[in-house]
Amino acid sequence: MSKERNSDDIRREIERRRTFAIISHPDAGKTTLTEKLLLYGGAVREAGAVRAQKAARHATSDWLELEKQRGISVSSSVLHFEFNDHRVNILDTPGHRDFSEDTYRTLMAADSAVMLIDAARGVEPQTRKLCEVCKLRKIPIFTFVNKMDRHGRDPLDIMAEIEDVLGMDVVPVNWPVGAGSDFRGIYDRLDRRLVTFAGGDHGTHRVDENIVEGEPGSEAIREAMGPFADDVLDGLELLEGAGAELDPEAVARGSQTPMFFGSALTNFGVHPFLQRFLEMAPGPVPRTSNGNVIDPTDHPFSGFVFKIQANMDPDHRDRVAFVRICSGRFLKGEQTSHMRTGKPIRLTNSTLLMGKDRSEIDEAFAGDVVGLFDPGIFRIGDTLSNEKDMHYAGIPIFAPESYMRVEVAGVQKRKALEKGIEQLVQEGVVQLFSDPEGGSASWILGAMGPLQFDVMRHRLKTEYGVDLTLSVLPYTMARWPQEGFDPEDFRYSERIRVVRDRDDNWALLAQSPWDFDRVLERNEDLVLAETPDPSLFESAV
């Protein structure tokens, strides 16, 4: 067991935690940036590649076989390292919109977010959607403009687009020197220094940094910038004259975003970003339980489950619950309460997560994410606490946009099929619906997009030995009745299908918004919601 700690010691440990998620549109370089942060944090000696050659390493965060095959992230992962007396916890999220629900669940566990912007593409649809979620939850957003090693848009244009589209003031913390193949470095506006980089090893190792102190117009800085001096000075002069000043309170509210420039692929700008970001990003923030603010340092252990992952270790077919610690100190072997069931549980088999790798731990603190062995008692959104009547906001379920029927006829491994679907649904890979009287023979899977079904098929095949056959259904949306509902009213409907969700709630599946509009016109007392429990979304945001 770990040494005894006094309250000041616990407070110091909590305050040095930095837990953040990285959000972006697909192909903006999110997993590459994650890998480079691990490199500079000393968690890996050599950065892996997202689209690697056969002999090369894969990204640490992409550990599922399907992720390695396709070069995309399909599941959130947790990574950690120590840097400059900070304990850094990275919540790596899928970028593809088909997995946005997994990303949303992970954002519930973050204290801040790094928004990755492609220097050539600017603000893209998925980035906009995830940014709105962060703003609703008042998560501070830090912007990293990536791919400066390629010719892209003018930095001032990117600033203007973020302000217009996302509604946030943008304050560049540094400013790029050159672009594309001429990208040379950044000028740090806060420390008044120029940082230039020397490349090598195609970004697999740290790059050398050359630092020149001085004001932008000084002779030493101009000489170091070379032919880019005039352009950089023009940009900096405009920012000094017309740009907003950095306001930590505005950043905390989500109305202002600090901006950084760099190239995750070549490592240019990654180290300066990491240093400054950890200085500016918040530590573990207070959260709300039953309307009461829970300060992370003034309360004993509490946390909530935001993810469940089955078969992280294929040899043991285990299940791991990802728990974000919200307050106090986690101690292995300590007894706590499982609030949903009201039962006491002992915190045994606790691990620290690093992609698919795990190591046993004796203690952790608010801000950390620990993995708990799940014998089947945990659900996403569960609260664990050493205090009575602690209930953190549940994590809402969103309406799927794609639906498929499970074809069970001819399946030889029926028990394995049922077990696999049950466990993967509990993880949140897909949602499960069924006809009220049809049982497993009428299972319907719902997902945000078709890639989720690909993940389902792949994992059932590789982890449970079952070939899943699905047939496409015409539905594109679901609604949950809240009032005025009678299933008999829809018995003969051709475009509305009445089903039960996995919690036995009634749900309606429809082919278009027009179908629901028509239903509501004909049933004045009927009230429909986009989630099974709308109050969860309201309390979550």
Q: What is the CATH number of the domain that holds 267?
A: 3.40.50.300
Determine how β-strand 350-354 pairs with β-strand 369-373.
Answer: antiparallel
The verdict on residue 357 lying in a domain is: yes
The verdict on residue 161 lying in a domain is: yes
Q: Are 449 and 420 in contact (CB under 8 A)?
A: no
Same domain, 315 and 373: yes
Say how many C-beta atoms besides its own lie within 10 A of residue 213's C-beta. 12
What pLDDT does 329 receive? 96
Q: CA 34, 35, 37: angle at the middle one, nearest 5?
A: 65
The verdict on residue 213 lying in a domain is: yes
CA separation for the pair 129, 131 (Å, rounded):
5
Neighbouring C-alpha atoms within 13 Å toward the C-beta of 140:
24
The verdict on residue 1 lying in a domain is: no
**Residue type at 133?**
V
Same domain, 417 and 496: yes
The verdict on residue 14 lying in a domain is: no
Same domain, 58 and 200: yes
Same domain, 275 and 327: no
Torsion over CA of 25, 174, 134 and 148, rounded to 10 degrees?
0
Domain extent for 123: 22-75+95-103+112-280
What pLDDT does 56 receive? 42
Same domain, 381 and 432: no
Same domain, 70 and 167: yes
Domain end residue (candidates: 280, 304, 326) = 280
* Helix 30-40 vs helix 270-280: crossing angle, to nearest 10: 80
**Residue type at 12?**
R
Domain end residue (candidates: 385, 415, 437) = 385
CA separation for the pair 487, 496 (Å, rounded):
11
**Residue type at 513?**
P
Which residues in 154-190 are b (16+ Cβ under 10 Å) and which e? ebeebbeebeeebebbbbbbbbbbbbeeebbbbbbbe
CA separation for the pair 251, 113 (Å, rounded):
11
Same domain, 41 and 156: yes
Same domain, 212 and 333: no
What pLDDT does 18 receive? 97
Same domain, 171 and 189: yes
Both structure tokens of 368: 């950390």
The verdict on residue 340 lying in a domain is: yes
CATH number at residue 433: 3.30.70.3280
The verdict on residue 511 lying in a domain is: yes
Residue 437 CB contacts under 8 Å (≥ 6 apart), including other chains: none
Structural domain tally of the chain? 3
Both structure tokens of 363: 């203690």
Domain end residue (candidates: 385, 416, 451) = 385
The verdict on residue 2 lying in a domain is: no
Both structure tokens of 102: 């997994």
Same domain, 173 and 52: yes
Q: Are 267 and 39 in contact (CB under 8 A)?
A: yes
* Coil/strand/helix, residue 330: strand
Position of tokens 């069970």? 408
Q: What element of type H or E holds 152?
A: none
Both structure tokens of 361: 């731990």
Same domain, 293 and 410: no
End-to-end CA gap in the chain: 37
All residue ranges of the chain with pLDDT < 70 are: 1-3, 45-76, 95-100, 199-203, 312-317, 355-356, 410-411, 437-441, 534-541
What pLDDT does 410 receive? 66
CA separation for the pair 20, 324 (Å, rounded):
12
Supply the pTM of this predicted model: 0.85
Both structure tokens of 178: 């050159």
Same domain, 447 and 499: yes
